[in-house]
């Protein structure tokens, strides 16, 4: 099986909730919102805490390491992804506990498995993950 490829990337379209996240990604830093009151990490980014409803949420830099929580192998890509199949779509659980939908890249597809340690890599400011 081939290496999981890097994939075509469309530029992000930041919103009020995500602008700080995308700005950090462009600098190679992974930020996750964290509640100032209950201290829970929050994913996806939003302007309030889904755990305690606090509006006091602050982006916090995280290590960018975690494990593959779940994944699927896309063997027939569509549109701009068609020529890149097969590739991996995964949920990565960060060490901080939140789960991001992402791609696993730079790894032999047959080597990808649940529980695999991964670390973030920035592909044109898009956070994707590779084996740690």
Provide the minimum distance between the beta carbon of 43 and Zn ion in the complex, in angstroms, as a whole number.
13
Q: Cα–Cα–Cα angle for 33, 36, 42, nearest 5°?
A: 30
| 105, 1 Cβ separation under 8 angstroms | no
60 binds Zn ion (CB under 5 A): no
DSSP-derived letter for residue 35 is E
Give, as ranges, the residues between 7 and 36 that touch Zn ion (CB under 5 A): 35
Q: Which of residues 41, 48, 54, 123 is near Zn ion by CB under 5 A?
A: 54
98 binds Zn ion (CB under 5 A): no
Using the Cα atoms of residue 49, residue 44, residue 23 and residue 19 in order, give the sign of their dihedral. negative
| Contacting positions for Zn ion (CB under 5 A) | 35, 37-38, 49, 51-52, 54
């Amino acid at each position: 099986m081939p290496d999981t490829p890097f994939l075509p990337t469309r530029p992000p379209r930041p919103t009020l909730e995500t602008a700080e996240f995308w700005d950090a990604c462009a600098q190679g830093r992974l930020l996750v919102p964290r509640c100032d009151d209950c201290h829970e990490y929050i994913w996806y980014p939003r302007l309030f805490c889904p755990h305690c409803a606090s509006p006091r949420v602050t982006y916090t830099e995280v290590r960018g390491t975690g494990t593959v929580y779940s994944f699927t192998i896309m063997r027939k890509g569509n549109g701009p992804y068609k020529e890149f199949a097969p590739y991996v779509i995964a949920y990565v659980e960060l060490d901080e506990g939140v789960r991001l939908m992402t791609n696993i890249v730079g790894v032999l597809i047959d080597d990808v498995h649940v529980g695999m340690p991964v670390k973030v890599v920035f592909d044109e400011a898009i956070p994707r993950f590779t084996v740690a």
